Amino acid sequence: MSVRIFLMVTHDEFLVPFLTKALSSDNYKVFSLAGDASNRRYYRVVQDNQSWVLMRWEPYDPNNYPFLSVLNHFAKNGVHVPTVVAQSPQEGLMLLEDLGDLTLERKFWESQSQEASLEFYQMAVDEIVKIHHPATLDKSDCTAFKIEFNTEKFLWEMNYGKDNLLSGVLKFPFGESLNKEITDIFVDISSRLDKEPKRIAHRDYHSRNLMIKLDQMSVIDFQDARLGPIQYDLVSLMRDSYVDMNDSMARTLIDYYLERSKAYLPKDFSREQFDRIYELQSIQRCFKACGSFASFYHLRQDRRYLKYLSGTLRRVMKAINEFPEYKVFADVLIDSGALERKYESL
């Protein structure tokens, strides 16, 4: 057999037969790919001039698997997602179309100016319009309809930022009175967001989860999709921690999104209210991202994401300044040293 596995992997007795059967050949190579922050593992499988991506996770029920449920629902509604080539649920293996290595993040940084990447961001907005509107209107048993961003979930995410960044990494001492004030602010933010109309939200719609292949934008990492405010995904894309999009380009893209969504927006749509919720969602979503970056270091000493904390915290602070009633939260970020800390030197 000519198979060469370019990584030490477990359960090769499953992997090799699966690929050999799926490709009707044993003449292929397997290369490890850099994964995300989850426990999923990815490999590129190469045979002659063709390639695929192998996703490896825990065994799953194909009739109740969020990844497949969302993928099929998105594809049905015109969202570009990878095609499933073969799968072995009992072994947690899935062979997918290879979308290449060109992410929207890479396209952004390789462009000579931000505006040079605008057409690709518009392609990304086109996909999120399909998710927010046609895919939401097409009711089905998709798992995305069964879970939602509500007050409890928003609050959990904000506390995740507090526990891992402020209390965990920065060791900021919250007294009983201050802790109550911060909790009250978090509850207020979370409940205000919960009252907004909900559409299917991708949940991690940032530049690393958007792949460009042959001038087509495709969406990955969608298994956590759920109902939520449209601003959640828009903040994820326009105030993405991995790129430094300027305000002018962000406004252009928001205008583009609203124009493309015009037929689906309510008759009493208010741009002022939309913008207000966008800023509110920026506080919540960006602070949650800070919690994730801090947790990787705080809980498992993973330093790779520390460099994204300072820029993301500046986005949080900028949005908080739009809400004078949340001044205590702004004061905590200042007093804790969160904004000045050199995280990469930890």
Distance CA(104)–CA(107), nearest Å, equals 5
What is the residue-level pLDDT of the chain in tens, covering all 346 positions?
A: 344 444 444 446 678 899 999 999 999 999 988 766 567 899 999 999 999 999 998 999 999 999 999 999 999 999 999 999 999 999 999 999 999 999 999 999 999 999 999 999 999 999 999 999 999 999 999 999 999 999 999 999 999 999 999 999 999 999 999 999 999 999 999 999 999 999 999 999 999 999 999 999 999 999 999 999 999 999 999 999 999 999 999 999 999 999 999 999 999 999 999 999 999 999 999 999 999 999 999 999 999 999 999 999 999 999 999 999 999 999 999 999 999 999 999 9
3-state secondary structure of 29: strand
Task: Note whether 169 and 295 are within 8 A (CB).
Answer: no
pTM of the predicted protein model: 0.93
Dihedral sign of CA atoms 259, 260, 261, 264 in order: positive
Sign of CA dihedral 60, 149, 256, 268: positive
| Domain 104-345, CATH number (from 3.90.1200.10, 2.60.120.10, 3.10.180.10, 3.30.70.20) | 3.90.1200.10
**Using one digit for the tens of pLDDT, what is the confidence trace for 84-136?**
999 999 999 999 999 999 999 999 999 999 999 999 999 999 999 999 999 99
Q: End-to-end alpha-carbon separation of the chain, Å?
A: 48
d(CA 187, CA 156): 10
Portions of the chain given CATH number 3.90.1200.10: 104-345
- Residue intervals of the chain classified under CATH 3.30.200.20 are 4-97
Read off the amino acid at residue 51: S
The Cα–Cα gap between 344 and 310 comes to 10
Q: Say which residues have a Cβ less than 8 Å from residue 315's Cβ, sequence separation at least 6.
A: 239, 241, 282, 286
Measured CA to CA, the distance from residue 201 to residue 104 in angstroms comes to 19
DSSP string, 52-88: EEEEE-S---TTS-HHHHHHHHHHHTT---PPEEEEE
Q: Which CATH class is domain 4-97?
A: alpha beta
Q: How far is CA 230 from the centre of its chain?
A: 14
